[in-house]
Structures are given as structure tokens and as C-alpha cells.
Amino acid sequence: MSEFDEPSKTTAGESGGPGGAAVGEWVKSERQVERERVRRSHARRSASIATVSTIVFIVLVVSIVTNSPGWPTVQDKFFNPDELVKALPDVLSGFLLNIKIFLIAEPLILIVGLLVALARGIRKPAFFPIRALATLYTDVFRGVPTLLVIYLTGFGLPALRLQGIPTDLVTLGILALTLSYGAYVAEVFRSGIDSIHPSQVAAARSLGLGHFKTMRFVVLPQATRRVVPPLLNDFISLQKDTALVATIGPLEALRQAQIHAASTFNYTAYLPAALLFILLTIPMARLTDHLAARTHRRRGA
């Protein structure tokens, strides 16, 4: 057996008969097998230590909270099981509206962000007004708080009384979120486009591709793959910010919880709303971590 860590190649003759390795089969060296065993042992040990420390920390926090002097009052006002059962159906129905707003706003934001990023990348003098307008849009809507954009859209647009302006509050909320998040997503797309090496564009242009085809077939596929993790982070924020639409009237999860809290003087209704948002956010967060780790491994390779 070779003394190096790399696998060694053996043949049937070298393996000592038909029961050994097949011809051309790669087998691991003894040192490599031992190294993998040690790594698995260290991984199990680390996982055990992490589990024990987590359990100890949770038990310590729960013990401190439940033994505090004000815990009975907090338990009654924030963790009342009877109020939780009463509020859950209405909060759940409102949460379905949150999901609807998110699912409609997300593709609209992607379209607006991509178009704005492409507009900012046009360098021809004739298209300067478009580039300037895209830059102005990005600067304004990144600077204005999302809540203020929702107020201006939800209350300002209907007040204009222009023909064709929607009056449905949910539609206005989706429009406000699209305007606000479109500016952020546009910058994410633009950073991905700018990260593509100029040699890629030069090679495409040398093959006779125009600006449009170069962006479509060469730049955008690579840029989109690079910006998937930051895009998912923006959409995690979007999931939570759908609750801001409640400020202009729609009965989504947060508004339903507010109604129950105002009528019962008990804040337990906010608990199921928070848990539903967490259940929606965690899978997206783990997917973001997975994609970021995979991108890191690819670049490392």
C-alpha cells in the first residue's frame, strides 16, 4: 500500500484473486481511511458537545424566566392558552393573505429589479434619460422607509382620483412593496452583473453578439447564479414586511392579532402570528445558507 494519502489503483492480480478489487478500481490507502475515521469521530464529538451545551443554555434561560417575580403576569398576558385557541383561526386566515401578498409581490420585484439594473447598465448617450431615471428610482426608494412608501401609495394614489388607479388596499400594498424592494433587488442584480469579468463580454462581442444577446446568453446567466443568496435574503425580509401592509387596512395576520388584543386586553394573539412568520422564514433562511455554502465550495474548488 502506498504511503501517500491519495487513493491507490489496484488490479485484480494485485488484489490476490477474484475476491479482491476489480481491474482499475480505486481503493483508499490505510492512512486515508484512518483520517476519515478520525474526522467522523471529531464530528460526532462536536455534535454531542453542541447538543449538551444548547440544552443546558435553554434550561438555564427557561429557569430564569419562569422563576422571575413577574412571570405569572407575563404568562397570563402573552402565553394564555385559552386566548391562543380563540385567536388562532383569525390569525391563520390573515396569514394566508400575507402569503398571497408575498407570492404576488416576489415575481413583480424580480422583474422590476432586473429591468432597472439593465437600464442602469446602458452606456449609450441616447439612453441617458432612461439611465438617469433608473438611478433616481433606486436612490429615492432605497432612501425612503418601506412603511412611508406604503402610506404614500395606500393613501396618496387613491386621493389623486385618476382613472385606472387601483383602490383595492391589497393591490396598493403589493404595489408599495414592489416599488420599495425593487430598488434593493436592482442593486443586487447590478452587483452581480458588474462581477462578471470584462473578458466574458469581450469574448461574446468578438463572436458577433450584440449588447442584448451578450447580456441574455453570457452575462445574466452567470450573474443570476451569483446573486441567488442575497436575493433570498431580501425575500426573507419581504416575508416579514408583508405585515406592514396592515397599516393601510388589509386584515392580514398582524391586523387580526391587533384586533384580538384590543378587544381582550391580552397580547397572546401576537404569539401565533409570530410563530407563523417564523415557520415561513426558517426554510428560506436554511435554503439561503445551503446555497451560500455551495457557492463557497465551488469558488474554493
> Looking at the DSSP assignment, which residues form a beta bridge with residue 9?
26
Q: Look at residue 276 and give its three-state secondary structure.
A: helix
For the chain, what is the mean pLDDT?
A: 85
- Domains of the chain in sequence order: 8-63 (no CATH), 94-300 (1.10.3720.10)
Contact 98, 243 (CB under 8 A): yes
> Looking at the DSSP assignment, which residues form a beta bridge with residue 10?
25
Distance CA 281, CA 57 (A): 24
- Given a cut of 60, whether residue 166 has pLDDT beyond it is yes
Which is nearest to 196 in space by CA: 232, 216, 212, 220? Answer: 220
Q: Identify the pLDDT of residue 256.
A: 92
Report residue 64 as a C-alpha cell: 430564569
Q: When comparing pLDDT for 1 and 220, which is higher?
A: 220
Q: When comparing pLDDT for 20 and 193, which is higher?
A: 193
- Given a cut of 60, whether residue 21 has pLDDT beyond it is no
Confidence of residue 22 (pLDDT cuts 50, 70, 90): low
Please report, rounded to a whole number, the percentage of residues in the chain having pLDDT higher than 90.
41
Q: Would you say the C-alpha torsion 239, 153, 258, 85 has a positive or negative sign?
A: negative
**What is the per-residue pLDDT across 96-153, written as a single tens digit (0 to 9) for each?**
999 999 999 999 999 999 999 999 888 888 888 999 999 999 999 999 999 999 999 9
Stated as kind and residue range, the H or E segment containing 10 is strand 8-10
Q: Look at residue 265 and give its three-state secondary structure.
A: coil
Contacts of residues 106-110 at CB distance under 8 Å and 24 or more positions apart, as own/partner, are: 106/235, 106/238, 108/174, 108/178, 108/182, 109/177, 109/178, 109/181, 109/182, 109/185, 109/238, 110/185, 110/231
Exposure letters 196-227 (e unless 16+ CB within 10 A, then b): beeeebeebeeeebeeeebbeebbbeebeebb
Q: What residues contact 47, with CB distance under 8 A and at least 6 apart? A: none
Q: When comparing pLDDT for 261 and 17, which is higher?
A: 261
Q: pTM score, two decimals?
A: 0.77
**What is the per-residue pLDDT across 247-298, written as a single tens digit (0 to 9) for each?**
998 888 989 999 999 998 899 999 999 999 998 888 888 887 887 777 777 7
End-to-end CA distance of the chain: 28
What one-letter code names the amino acid at 269?
A
